[in-house]
Chain A
């Protein structure tokens, strides 16, 4: 399998040099192969979002290297990375432009990473394609192309954001707790949709979640971050046979070890 993403020794420190210095990532190493669907868990402050933001380019990388499909993207701005990386945010409001209509949002996503010119934003032939794509969501959105996104529910918006993220096949899709703000039922719908879209296009995906069950149920790999490092990295059989108690046990073990280390340092 070809390597899609390679993260080498990634460090991120916030407010470095002050009393508030916060070393969020302390040397993360990670390789993703094509078609990998990785779920990431970890407690608050473990560095999950920072890791995702570093890959997307919203925070500049301080130390380390990020390589996507053989190209070093460590220093590229967000807009340049957008061609290859798409993203779904935690807040449903974040992923769409609320004052634009459904079709206008989709049209924007169609041109992700491409040059934009003076051609019409929403083309006739696109409309048919959008309808077909919306129909597969099963949310009755195919007849609401002209509706402003702001008038749709959070779940509908998140479904559309997902569709937007996959309309142009990305090399890598980043999902940042994208079901956390939804009610349980909608959350399941959106998760199933996520899996379907990822499987259909055989996408390489990175999914941050707070929900351990989701982390175990979906994807072929699982990574646990703890204090800015990869604490657990499971794949294949190990991942398939994982249960919540087992995961908790692994977590305890890891945290325990870390505490001991810290205690040693204090002595």
Chain B
């Protein structure tokens, strides 16, 4: 999911709120497919497809109808709530009890429940990263990165920047819906309200990853995003060990994000000694 958020946030330089809608949508699509007995891999892929469409809508609103990106994302997110609810046949959550998921398939390979989640999760994350790295090296991939970097120059070089943005929105939300599908299968149920805070988690992972290691080529960055997401989870787990009440959970995670955002700023003066590092970070 962090990867999905990264795509729009850093590559396209947009904050895409659609994430909060495409995440539960992905979970819902995958779950409903599984309930109907569809192959878990196909169900997960279908979730990815749902995310693509969600991204297409936001992209269309943003570029063709010229609605500012933040607003376009919120509009899609709001609309998606109803659509996800429809997909789940008006239930607030749907259980996957006893259904086959991609994790239960991994368990059949003789792995324990926990290991199955880790192994399957890693395989899919690596697969997504590999595909994205290949994609970003193609002509279209280069054009997309250039669009986020310098739209005017891209247009001057004949890149159709609007189409590139729409494609970026699509892939990004596809990844987010995919992660929604994974989480639903891990939790054993799809939840209509699971999207709240998605964007925050994604951004936190990105920021942690960027604080840990600066200036990476794109494949390295995508890998560290996974690490960033795990670390964010660990920090949250630590916070929750201090007996935080469930009702305060979101507040706690928002505070953790604030700390993550602010910490690197306090680090900067120390970097002055490093010279080169500092120069680079200010350029960013």
Residues of A whose CB lies within 8 Å of any CB of B are: 56, 58, 78-80, 82-83, 86-87, 89, 93-100, 104-105, 107-109, 111-114, 116-122, 150, 164
Contact partner of A86 (CB less than 8 A), chosen from B141, B145, B152, B156, is B156
**By CB atoms of chain B within 10 A, which of A80, A93, A97 has the most?**
A97
Per the bound structure, the CA–CA distance linking A109 and B149 in Å amounts to 15
Contact partner of A112 (CB less than 8 A), chosen from B142, B150, B157, is B157
Q: Which residues of the partner chain B approach A104 to less than 8 Å between Cβ atoms?
A: 142, 145
List 21 A–B pairs whose Cβ atoms lie within 8 Å, in order of A's numbering: A79-B155, A79-B160, A82-B155, A86-B156, A89-B153, A93-B150, A94-B150, A94-B153, A99-B145, A99-B149, A100-B145, A100-B149, A107-B142, A108-B146, A109-B157, A111-B139, A116-B142, A117-B138, A118-B135, A120-B137, A121-B138
Residues of B whose CB lies within 8 Å of any CB of A are: 135, 137-143, 145-146, 149-150, 152-161, 283
The distance from the CB of A49 to the nearest CB of chain B, in whole angstroms, is 13
Asked whether A122 and B140 contact (CB < 8 A) given A78-B156, A82-B157, A94-B153, the answer is no
Do A113 and B158 touch across chains, with their CB atoms under 8 A apart? yes
The 3 A-B residue pairs with the shortest CB-CB distance in the complex, in nearest-first order: A82-B158, A121-B142, A116-B139
Q: Which residues of the partner chain B approach A79 to less than 8 Å between Cβ atoms?
A: 155, 158-161
Do B153 and A117 touch across chains, with their CB atoms under 8 A apart? no
Q: Which residues of the partner chain A approach B149 to less than 8 Å between Cβ atoms?
A: 97-100
The distance from the CB of B42 to the nearest CB of chain A, in whole angstroms, is 24
Q: Which residues of the partner chain B approach A96 to less than 8 Å between Cβ atoms?
A: 150, 153
Do A82 and B139 touch across chains, with their CB atoms under 8 A apart? no
User: Main secondary structure on chain B at its contact with chain A?
Assistant: helix
Nearest A residue to B279 by beta-carbon distance?
A: A151
Q: Which residues of the partner chain B approach A97 to less than 8 Å between Cβ atoms?
A: 145-146, 149-150, 153-154
Per the bound structure, the CA–CA distance linking A100 and B158 in Å amounts to 17
Q: Which residues of the partner chain A approach B154 to less than 8 Å between Cβ atoms?
A: 97, 108
Per the bound structure, the CA–CA distance linking A93 and B157 in Å amounts to 15
Do B138 and A108 touch across chains, with their CB atoms under 8 A apart? no
Do A116 and B153 touch across chains, with their CB atoms under 8 A apart? no
The distance from the CB of A151 to the nearest CB of chain B, in whole angstroms, is 8
Do A121 and B139 touch across chains, with their CB atoms under 8 A apart? yes
Contact partner of A116 (CB less than 8 A), chosen from B143, B150, B152, B161, is B143
Per the bound structure, the CA–CA distance linking A87 and B158 in Å amounts to 11
The distance from the CB of A175 to the nearest CB of chain B, in whole angstroms, is 13
Q: Which residues of the partner chain A approach B145 to less than 8 Å between Cβ atoms?
A: 97, 99-100, 104
Per the bound structure, the CA–CA distance linking A9 and B170 in Å amounts to 44
Do B150 and A98 touch across chains, with their CB atoms under 8 A apart? yes
Q: Which residues of the partner chain B approach A86 to less than 8 Å between Cβ atoms?
A: 156
Nearest A residue to B150 by beta-carbon distance?
A: A97
Nearest B residue to A148 by beta-carbon distance?
A: B215
Q: Which residues of the partner chain B approach A111 to less than 8 Å between Cβ atoms?
A: 139, 143, 157-158
Do B158 and A119 touch across chains, with their CB atoms under 8 A apart? no
Asked whether A117 and B142 contact (CB < 8 A) given A82-B155, A99-B149, A100-B149, the answer is no
Do A117 and B150 touch across chains, with their CB atoms under 8 A apart? no
Q: Which residues of the partner chain A approach B161 to less than 8 Å between Cβ atoms?
A: 79
The distance from the CB of B139 to the nearest CB of chain A, in whole angstroms, is 4
Q: Which residues of the partner chain B approach A94 to less than 8 Å between Cβ atoms?
A: 150, 152-153
Do B283 and A108 touch across chains, with their CB atoms under 8 A apart? no
**By CB atoms of chain A within 10 A, which of B139, B141, B146, B157 has the most?**
B157
The distance from the CB of A91 to the nearest CB of chain B, in whole angstroms, is 10
Per the bound structure, the CA–CA distance linking A100 and B160 in Å amounts to 18
Per the bound structure, the CA–CA distance linking A122 and B137 in Å amounts to 7
The distance from the CB of A266 to the nearest CB of chain B, in whole angstroms, is 41
